[in-house]
Amino acid sequence: MTGSEASMNTQADLPRLAVVEVTGSRPDQREYHAKVQTLISRVTGEGEQGGWQVTRTAAADVSVPELLAATIDADAIVIVGGEDIAPRFYGGATGYEGETRHYEVADAGQIALVQRAVAQGTPLLGICRGLQIINVALGGSIVQHIEDDGIHRTDGVPIDRILTAHGVTLLAGSGLAESFGRAEISVQSAHHQSVGRLGDGLVAAALAPDGLVEALEHVTQPITGVQWHPEAPDAPADQLGVLLAVLGGQLASVRFAGELAAA
């Protein structure tokens, strides 16, 4: 066996992580798109460094069946940040303050991904919009606009400075509290919407100082969502690594359970 063949075999043995973004192109929002790409690149880069075989798909750029097919072999999934979810998916109305462009094909595809992950027990992490997608996919609602209170975002500044730092309380008994080994962490966030009514099977796992839900977990499935950005350049250095390690641990548990069932 040649060195290149051995390398290919080693790569094929790595667990497969599907990173799913909203869209691969925003020609009318170049600065915002560049910021989003920087954040996603940190997820893919740290995933690869952590031993994952990473693929990346833009949900708005394919059909829902194509997105599901592209991620069918994924061992774990990360749904990253982006624009607001179209209100029709959670029974809301348009015309709210701060409303962004909607990518309804991406919404439908990512919602379908979450529902399949819950049905099949696939580990899934949602970041920012990804947390909201999880909640909507399971029947929850969205608070369409939260006033700028200096906690969740910084308004009226260039896109590179919109992220703000604040503390988060990880709730006792949550998987996140166990994974981080402490009850209080500092996070970077930038969002004008938040979780409203929690979806079926979901519980709050972390709260912001004003009481807004900053993370959620599924009670029986390996599904986690964080409202903050662990992949932000100024986020604590270990934060994204901890969350990706959670996915790895969940995958190991899923595989072990499958082996027991097959024995």
Catalytic residue chosen out of the listed positions 102, 152, 191, 229: 229
Q: Does the annotation mark 102 as catalytic?
A: no
Rounded to whole angstroms, how far apart are CA atoms 149 and 194?
13
Give the N- to C-terminal CA distance of the chain in Å, as an integer.
33
The neighbouring-strand residues paired with 53 are: 16
Q: What is the DSSP string of 163-197?
A: -EEEEEEEPTT-HHHHHHTSSEEEEEE--S-EE-S
Q: Does the annotation mark 231 as catalytic?
A: yes
Read off the DSSP letter of residue 209. T
User: Cα dihedral sign for 42, 43, 47, 53?
Assistant: negative
CB 36 within 8 A of CB 79: no
H-state helical runs in the chain: 3-13, 30-49, 64-70, 104-120, 129-137, 175-180, 239-262
E strand or H helix at 248? helix 239-262
Per the listing, tokens 């962490």 go with 185
Catalytic residue chosen out of the listed positions 128, 191, 192, 217: 128
Per the listing, tokens 């709210």 go with 96
Report which residue type is found at 235: A
Rounded to whole angstroms, how far apart are CA atoms 130 and 111?
10
Q: Does the annotation mark 128 as catalytic?
A: yes
Catalytic residues: 128, 229, 231
